[in-house]
Structure 1
Amino acid sequence: MHTHHWDTSVGKYALNSDIKLILVSITENDFIDAKNIKLVAVQYIYTMSTQQTVRLQADEVEGSEALRIDSERASQLVDALNTDLAATQMLYHQLKKHHWNVEGAEFRDLHLFLGEAADEAEEFADELAERAQALGGAPVSSPSAISEQSPVEAEDENVYDIRTSLANDMQMYGDMIEMLRDHVALAERLNDPTTAHMLRENLIEVEDAAHHIEHYLEDDTLVVESAMQ
């Protein structure tokens, strides 16, 4: 038994000359000698490697047989999750913007808080995307789709004073709180306790962050009035 070995740019392959290989449309009566079989294999592999296949349309939801959630229920859940995901991505970018640009006497505390809040938003976005995928959907991912599907709107590119920035963050958090409460209820109605639990756990963190910002915006301070003049 004689074996031919070769290397190609797409990997290493070994073919046995005593085994009939059907690489392309080769009938039993076709003959390919050992010298030409390499070329046929490489051409076939190149064709396979350059094919583009859409495995799932962006607006398609298959559901999950493993999770026992049919496509009708999954479609409603994925739509809600993608709305949450788009909003969370918008929140993440706004928090990072304020994390980068904060200045003033409270710089350190606010810089750290905003950085941690952005990290939490990023983690939440990852959980939302993975759950949407598990339910047989395609997580919203492109910037244009995120902007279109987000129910919240981020502030523009201008850099505002920190009180204005925090007020904008609190507004976005408030909108997300209402949205998450609605989607927790939706998941429960659709008998998906796992999604409901995930959203409820993250709702707690979102409410906590909003509560902290509300405290930052209070007018109470240890700085005496004379020091501010």
Structure 2
Amino acid sequence: MSTQQTVRQRADEVEGSDALRIDADKASQLVDALNTDLASTYVLYHQLKKHHWNVEGAEFRDLHLFLGDAAEEAEAFADELAERAQALGGVPVAGMDALTEQATVEAEDEDVYDIRTSLENDMEMYGDIIESLRDHIELAQNLGDPTTAHMLRENLIEVEEAAHHIEHYLEDDTLVSE
């Protein structure tokens, strides 16, 4: 472990960006929103990975692949959120305690549930994230940051698509007999 003790920027400080011409006050609001989405996305990522690892049953393969892909999409979006927060002069939320504290979603516990319950929990989390993204798109637009709004809007499309797929998986119609 490094013995260097120099703090370059405190986690709760937002400097703004001269290059992007966004002042510190607006940047602070945007970074807070981005960090909330970042934290929620990481909670989603970990829950999707849990379900990816533990899925069983007749539809194992399709669900295993879907959940793996959905987790990869969440991880990629988390990276975009973190990089945008940093570009705006902020510090991306990173510590496990801070992620849990700042997330607007709550992961299920460590137990393994049947896949229907797991997917219902995922869909609930996706719904909460969809609402948050919509609010943060509007915030970014109102603060004069179309780039952040665009990035969030593009991800909203992916998040809504994943939620829609889960909704289909949860339908009663199936070829599997019970």
| Residues 32-71 of structure 1 aligned to structure 2 (within 5 Å) | 51-71=4-24
Deviations 1:137-184 (A, max 9, x none): 000000000011111000000000000000000000000000000000
User: Which residue identity lines up with residue 211 of structure 1 in the other structure?
Assistant: H
The separation in 2 between residues aligned to 1:221 and 1:93, in whole angstroms, is: 28
Residue 143 (str. 1) matches residue 96 (str. 2): yes
Amino acid at match of 2:44: L
Tell me the secondary structure at the aligned position of residue 98 of structure 2: helix
Q: CA-atom RMSD, angstroms?
A: 1.0
Instruction: Report the Cα offset of residue 52 of structure 1.
Output: 1.8
Deviation at 1:222, TM superposition (A): 2.5
Give TM-score, length-normalised by structure 2: 0.97
Task: Point out the structure with max Rg over C-alpha.
Answer: 1
Greater RCO (Cα-Cα under 8 Å, separation 6 or more): 2
The normalised TM-score by structure 1 is 0.76
Q: In the aligned structure 1, how far is the partner of 2:117 from the partner of 2:98?
A: 27
Q: Percent identity?
A: 81
SS at the partner of 2:17? coil
| Alpha-carbon offset, residue 70 of structure 1 | 0.4
Query: 1:78 pairs with 16, 20, 31, which one?
Result: 31
Q: Which residue of 2 aligns with 1:161?
A: 114
**Match in the other structure for 1:101:** 54
Structure 2 residue identity aligned to 1:88: T
Structure 1 CA distance for aligned equivalents of residues 165 and 136 of structure 2:
23
* Alignment partner of 1:186 out of 139, 142, 146: 139
Q: Corresponding residue for 1:221?
A: 174
Question: In the aligned structure 2, how far is the partner of 1:152 from the partner of 1:51?
Answer: 35
1:83-112 CA distance string (max 9 Å, x none): 000000000000000000000000000000
Number of residue pairs matched? 177
**Gaps spanning 5+ residues in structure 2: where?**
none
